[in-house]
Chains A and B, each alone.
Chain A
Amino acid sequence: MSYKTKLMQGNQAVAEGAIAAGVSFFGGYPITPSTEVAESLARELPAIGGKFIQMEDEIAGIGVIIGAALTGKKVMTATSGPGFSLKQELLGYACIAEIPLVIVNVQRVGPSTGQPTAPAQGDVMQARWGTHGDHPIIALTPGSVPECFDLTIKAYEFSEKYRTPVILLLDEIIGHMRERIDLPTSYDQIVKPQRKLPVVSPEEYRAYKPDADLIPPMAPFGTGYRWHVTGLVHDEYGFPDGTPAATQACLDRLHAKINNNLEDIVLYENYLMEDAEIAVLAYGGTARTAYASVDAAREKGIKVGLFRPITMWPFPEKQVKALASQVKHLIVAEMNFGQYVIEVERAVAGKIPVTLHAKYNSEAITPAELLIAIENISKQQ
Chain B
Amino acid sequence: MEMEQIVDKYFRAGRLPHIWCPGCGNGIVTGAIVKAIDKLALEKDGVAVVSGIGCSSRASGYLDFNTVHSAHGRALPVATGIKLSEPRLKVIVVTGDGDATAIGGNHFIHAARRNIDITVILYNNNIYGMTGGQYSPLTPTHSKATTAPFGTVDRSFDVTELAKGAGATFVARATTYHTPTLIDVITQGIQHEGFSIIEAITACPISFGRQNKMGSAANMMKWQKDNGVMLGAYEKMTDEQKEGKFPIGILYKATAPEYTAEYDKVIARAQKGAK
Q: Is there any pair of Cβ atoms, one from A and one from B, under 8 angstroms apart in the complex? A: yes
Q: How many B residues face the partner with a CB closer than 8 A?
A: 42
Known: A60-B107, A63-B107, A231-B70. 6 other contacts (CB 8 A): A47-B271, A51-B85, A53-B84, A60-B106, A222-B88, A231-B71
List chain B residues, Cβ under 8 A from A56.
106-107, 109-110
Segment of A66-74, A245-253, A264-272 in the binding face? A66-74
List chain B residues, Cβ under 8 A from A13.
none
Q: Which residues on B are within 8 Å of A, measured CB to CB?
A: 12, 15, 44-46, 48, 50, 60-61, 64-71, 74, 76-86, 88-89, 106-107, 109-110, 263, 266-267, 269-271, 273
Contact A71 B77, CB 8 Å, known A47-B270, A227-B67: no
Contact A222 B81, CB 8 Å, known A46-B267, A46-B271, A240-B61: no
Contact A63 B86, CB 8 Å, known A224-B45, A229-B69: no
List chain B residues, Cβ under 8 A from A25.
81, 84-85
Q: Are A68 and B110 in contact (CB under 8 A)?
A: no
Q: A30 vs B267: C-alpha distance in the bound complex, in angstroms? A: 21
Chain B nearest CB: distance from A171 CB in Å? 28
Chain A nearest CB: distance from B139 CB in Å? 24
Q: Are B84 and A64 in contact (CB under 8 A)?
A: yes
Q: Are A63 and B81 in contact (CB under 8 A)?
A: yes
Q: List 18 A-B contacts (CB under 8 A).
A: A25-B81, A25-B84, A49-B267, A51-B263, A53-B263, A55-B80, A55-B110, A63-B71, A64-B78, A64-B81, A65-B81, A68-B81, A68-B84, A70-B82, A224-B45, A228-B12, A228-B68, A229-B68
List chain B residues, Cβ under 8 A from A73.
85
- Most chain A CB within 10 A, of B76, B81, B110, is at B81
Chain B nearest CB: distance from A255 CB in Å? 22
Q: Are A226 and B77 in contact (CB under 8 A)?
A: no
Q: A59 vs B89: C-alpha distance in the bound complex, in angstroms? A: 23
Q: Which residue of A lies closest to B44 (CB)?
A: A226
Q: How many A residues face the partner with a CB closer than 8 A?
A: 44
Q: A114 vs B269: C-alpha distance in the bound complex, in angstroms? A: 39
Q: A358 vs B179: C-alpha distance in the bound complex, in angstroms? A: 66
Q: A227 vs B48: C-alpha distance in the bound complex, in angstroms? A: 10
Contact A57 B45, CB 8 Å, known A63-B78, A67-B82: no
List chain B residues, Cβ under 8 A from A182.
none
Closest 7 CB pairs of A and B: A67-B81, A63-B77, A46-B270, A68-B85, A230-B69, A221-B66, A64-B81
List chain B residues, Cβ under 8 A from A226.
44-45, 64-67
List chain A residues, Cβ under 8 A from B74.
59-60, 63, 90
Contacting residues of chain A (1-55) with chain B, CB-CB under 8 angstroms: 24-25, 27, 43, 46-49, 51, 53, 55
List chain B residues, Cβ under 8 A from A64.
77-78, 80-81, 84
